[in-house]
Amino acid sequence: MASTKVKGIVLGGVNIKEKDKLVNLYTLEEGKITVSFKGVRGEKAKLKACKEIFCFGEFVIERSGASNIVTSCEIIDNFFALSKDLEKYYEGCAILDILNKTAFESNPALFIETIKALKSLCYDSATKFYIIDKFLLSFFKLSGYHFLSDKCVSCQARLGQMYFDYDLGALVCPACKRANCDLVTPSAFMAMKILYQTDYEKLPTVKLGGGGEVQAYHILSKNFEWKVGVSIIRII
């Protein structure tokens, strides 16, 4: 059997057999992979903490045919404080859900973005929606769908009043607006620009006002749904 070491974070899993668990692991090296833990649901199982959602660590995997069995794990962080704050917990679950529904290939920049977002969510005190909005904006950028621009994507006119066109995944002016569009308020556009440009560790100092971050989340999560075909789990 070949053994591999990967850096990964547990996205979630299902119990199988009497004491085993199948886990989706988002890894730096290989993107999302499915791994199994043997006998890990016993009280004294040495890897029992490593199978839990949000566990970030170095996993040693034995490969045999199609099966990937975790044989050891060194935990780097389990973001335990997230489980003590329901709002943060659900925002964190939404970040993992985005990866669970998309991250089929290795993307080191997205992996690093994920860890930064979870650290900030767990240890800092940013306003609700700031971190998930920033993560989604980065996710689109790293997936080749950056759309933050001062110009209409269709006619290149400078944007005053603007709409988000879900078919194009971009911003358009009133003249180019079609059926599948939502109005982007100035506060939502400002929220997206500021959150995109601000580092995670500086998010607690950002005070947007106007509820722009809530409308931004509505547009960003709807854009995700249009692109991927499934929605992100609810965080509200």
Shortest Å distance, C-beta 175 to Zn ion: 5
Give the residue with the Cβ less far from Zn ion, 10 or 152.
152
Helix (H) or strand (E) segment spanning residue 110: helix 108-123
Give the residue with the Cβ less far from Zn ion, 14 or 179.
179
Give the residue with the Cβ less far from Zn ion, 86 or 179.
179
Question: Of 32, 227, 236, 27, nearest to 140 (Cα)?
Answer: 227
Shortest Å distance, C-beta 222 to Zn ion: 20
Shortest Å distance, C-beta 156 to Zn ion: 7
- Residue 64 in tokens: 């045999």
Question: Of 134, 115, 162, nearest to 220 (Cα)?
Answer: 134
Buried b (16+ CB within 10 A) or exposed e, 98-115: bbbbbbeebbeebbebbb
CA atoms within 13 A on the CB side of 78: 15
Shortest Å distance, C-beta 81 to Zn ion: 46
Shortest Å distance, C-beta 229 to Zn ion: 27
Q: How far apart are CA 190 and CA 45, in angstroms?
A: 49
Beta bridge partners of residue 31, listed in sequence order:
27
Give the binding site for Zn ion (CB under 5 A): 152, 154-155, 157, 173, 176
Give the residue with the Cβ less far from Zn ion, 76 or 183.
183
Give the residue with the Cβ less far from Zn ion, 33 or 159.
159
Q: How far apart are CA 16 and CA 22, in angstroms?
A: 7
